[in-house]
């Protein structure tokens, strides 16, 4: 669904573990890493889209997670001009995203990047909470900063955290196995 301004409705998913780390996934066959995300289909609510994308992208089901927070508003980013497909109608110039913060309640072994048969990711790992802000592609960085700031207190179990402005502290990722 693309709105009148050219932004595609989309959901973003931040999955955290009990240590306050977040799931960071590598795009299939690429070197870019990001949070799971995906489009909202016609007639689908953002929450319905989130559960569908959660399974399609990381193999988790509703019973494997608990919703901790939802973003207050839609957050937008523009695609770089080289990624805008001018020949498609309507033209999509970016994404508007409703974000969800989820707590993994099921076993980590339930994460299955190939569950849908069409994997979007080929590797994943747990990283420190602020690590993604510096590592995501530049055009998504401001949205990541905003949503992580919004979710900070909830994600870190009420611990105070300074809103991200510059370089995040720590953050050597912990490697996880690939799904093949």
- Angstrom distance (rounded) from CA 169 to CA 12: 23
| pLDDT surpasses 60 at 165 | no
Q: Is residue 156 part of a domain?
A: yes
Quick one: pLDDT band at residue 175, thresholds 50, 70, 90? low
Q: Is residue 168 part of a domain?
A: yes
SS3 category, 15: strand
What's the mean pLDDT in 29-57?
97
Cβ neighbours of residue 151 closer than 8 Å, sequence gap 6 or more:
14, 68, 69, 71, 99, 101
> pLDDT digits over 70-126, tens only?
999 999 999 998 888 887 888 898 999 999 999 999 999 999 999 989 999 999 999
Closest CA to 68 of 125, 124, 150: 150
Q: Is residue 1 part of a domain?
A: no
Q: What is the CATH number of the domain that holds 55?
A: 3.90.79.10
Can you give the residue range of the structural domain that contains 127?
A: 7-175
Q: Which residue has 């110039």 as its token pair?
A: 93
Number of domains in the chain: 1
Q: Is residue 2 part of a domain?
A: no
As to burial, measured by CB atoms within 10 angstroms (0-12 exposed, 13-18 middle, 19+ buried), residue 15 is buried
Q: Is residue 76 part of a domain?
A: yes
Q: Would the CA dihedral through 63, 68, 74, 75 be positive or negative?
A: negative
* Average pLDDT over the chain, rounded to an integer: 89
121-140 b/e (C-beta count within 10 Å ≥ 16 → b): bbbbbbbbbbbbbebbeeeb
């Amino acid at each position: 669904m693309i709105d009148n301004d050219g932004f595609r409705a989309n959901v973003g998913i931040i999955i955290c573990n009990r240590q306050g780390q977040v799931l960071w996934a590598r795009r299939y066959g690429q070197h870019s890493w990001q949070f799971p995300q995906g489009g909202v289909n016609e007639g689908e609510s953002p929450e319905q889209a989130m559960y569908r994308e959660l399974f399609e992208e990381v193999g988790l089901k509703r019973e494997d997670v608990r919703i901790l927070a939802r973003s207050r508003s839609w957050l937008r980013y523009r695609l770089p001009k080289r990624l805008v497909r001018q020949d498609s109608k309507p033209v999509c110039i970016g994404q508007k995203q409703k974000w969800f913060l989820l707590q993994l309640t099921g076993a980590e072994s339930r994460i299955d990047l190939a569950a849908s048969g069409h994997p979007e990711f080929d590797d994943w790992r747990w990283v420190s909470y602020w690590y993604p802000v510096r590592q995501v592609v530049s055009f998504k960085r401001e949205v990541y900063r905003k949503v992580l700031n919004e979710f900070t207190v909830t994600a870190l179990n009420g611990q105070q955290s300074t809103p991200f402005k510059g370089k995040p502290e720590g953050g050597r990722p912990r490697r996880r196995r690939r799904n093949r």
